[in-house]
């Protein structure tokens, strides 16, 4: 059985495969030479490690993002577990299984699938219903949606995070449309499910969540516009105004020019979608901050970059 980070305890010998998350070459205190400070991780967490032997050889052969085989011993240093690593080498024949190195969303996938299809079934607008039915009948897209993260770091940065995020907003949209009848429920729900579809092409999974070249060069808003347009092109008779409104919801969902929205929301459903997007992301970031707070500190989270603050956890 694979050794996981969360199982490691001081005194234990380690012989396992991990993702190399951080690697720093640092000078020895004596000034005579260097050592490597590394962080190793898997889906259960991460742990610091130190390498004192064959330093430059290992430094040149292993890169951050590599999957590495390590041997060593877990010790306690400054009250924290740390691995004294005796050997580390790149694991070249490893069949990348992202689920071993990247955490997964806690949502139940079968329930999520049911929810997704029942939301589409409940739509009244025949064009929006056709469009979503076409997209969900695309198995390649559906598989990508069930795996894709919604971000590299900030919110829903887990396998299946995009689905969790999109469903969260769609469910909130249904509730909000019941409170405010002036909202076009079908348009808002469709926008909720589609606003981030470009993310299936923006990220790739290996030992960590990374950007694809297209993701770096174009970003998920442009990729989403391209993807949505290609689906609508397959539906003869799809109203042009409705196409433009859906594209606008993708284009404007970040709300502000400074946040890479080429346009700000220009109708009610687009504006509501932007706010629901912010709410759903914030809920995930507050939740994760509480869940991931450092052991022994139950009052305050670590610094949360996406929220630009510490979170009070009581």
C-beta contacts of 256-261 below 8 A and 24+ residues apart: 260/219, 260/221, 261/221
The closest of 262, 261, 267 to 246, measured between CA atoms, is 267
- 98 DSSP β-pair partners: none
Nearest distance from C-beta of residue 195 to Fe ion, angstroms: 6
- Quick check: 277 binds Fe ion (CB under 5 A)? yes
Of 55 and 144, the one with the shorter C-beta distance to Fe ion is: 144
Of 20 and 187, the one with the shorter C-beta distance to Fe ion is: 187
Structure tokens at 219: 């970003």
Nearest distance from C-beta of residue 150 to Fe ion, angstroms: 6
Question: How far, in Å, are 19, 189, 299 from residue 22 at the CA level?
Answer: 9, 40, 28
Q: How many amino acids of this chain bind Fe ion (CB under 5 A)?
A: 2
Residue that is written with structure tokens 């041997």 in the block: 71
DSSP character for 7?
Answer: G
Of 36 and 162, the one with the shorter C-beta distance to Fe ion is: 162
Give, as ranges, the residues between 169 and 198 that touch Fe ion (CB under 5 A): 196
Structure tokens at 267: 């109708």
Of 167 and 289, the one with the shorter C-beta distance to Fe ion is: 167
Nearest distance from C-beta of residue 165 to Fe ion, angstroms: 6
Of 42 and 196, the one with the shorter C-beta distance to Fe ion is: 196
* Per-residue mark of binding to Fe ion, 193-212 (x: CB under 5 A): ---x----------------
Nearest distance from C-beta of residue 18 to Fe ion, angstroms: 31
31-49: string of b/e by CB count within 10 Å (b at 16+)?
Answer: eeeebbebbbbbbeeebeb
Separation of alpha carbons 277 and 249, rounded Å: 11
Separation of alpha carbons 66 and 11, rounded Å: 26
Specify the 3-state DSSP secondary structure of 165: helix
Give, as ranges, the residues between 206 and 265 that touch Fe ion (CB under 5 A): none
Nearest distance from C-beta of residue 80 to Fe ion, angstroms: 35
Of 42 and 284, the one with the shorter C-beta distance to Fe ion is: 284
Give, as ranges, the residues between 20 and 79 that touch Fe ion (CB under 5 A): none
**Distance, first Cα to last Cα, the chain:** 37
Nearest distance from C-beta of residue 273 to Fe ion, angstroms: 9
Contacting residues toward Fe ion, per CB under 5 A? 196, 277
């Amino acid at each position: 059985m694979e050794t996981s980070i969360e199982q490691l305890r001081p005194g234990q010998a380690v012989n396992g495969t991990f993702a190399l998350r951080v690697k720093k070459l640092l000078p020895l205190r004596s000034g005579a030479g260097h050592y490597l400070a590394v962080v190793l991780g898997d889906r259960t967490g991460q742990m610091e490690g130190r390498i004192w032997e064959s330093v430059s050889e290992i430094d040149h052969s292993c890169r951050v993002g590599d999957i590495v085989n390590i041997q060593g011993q877990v010790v306690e240093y400054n009250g924290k577990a740390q691995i004294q690593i005796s050997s580390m080498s790149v694991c070249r024949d490893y069949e990348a299984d992202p689920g071993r190195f990247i955490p997964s969303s806690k949502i139940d996938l079968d329930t999520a699938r049911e929810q997704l299809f029942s939301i589409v079934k409940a739509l009244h607008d025949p064009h929006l219903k056709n469009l979503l039915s076409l997209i969900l009948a695309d198995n390649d897209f559906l598989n990508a949606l069930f795996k894709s993260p919604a971000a590299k770091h900030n919110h829903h940065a887990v396998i299946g995070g995009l689905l969790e995020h999109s469903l969260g907003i769609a469910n909130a949209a249904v509730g909000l449309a019941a409170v405010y009848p002036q909202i076009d429920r079908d348009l808002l729900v469709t926008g909720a499910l589609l606003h981030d579809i470009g993310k299936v092409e923006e990220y790739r999974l290996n030992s960590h969540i990374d950007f694809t070249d297209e993701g770096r060069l174009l970003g998920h808003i442009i990729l989403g516009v391209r993807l949505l347009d290609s689906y609508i092109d397959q539906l003869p008779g799809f109203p042009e105004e409705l196409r433009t409104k859906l594209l606008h919801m993708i284009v404007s969902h970040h709300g502000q020019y400074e946040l890479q929205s080429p346009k700000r929301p220009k109708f009610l459903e687009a504006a509501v979608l932007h706010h629901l997007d912010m709410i759903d992301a914030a809920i995930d970031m507050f939740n994760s901050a509480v869940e991931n707070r450092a052991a022994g500190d139950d009052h305050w989270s670590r610094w949360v970059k996406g929220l630009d603050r510490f979170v009070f956890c009581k």
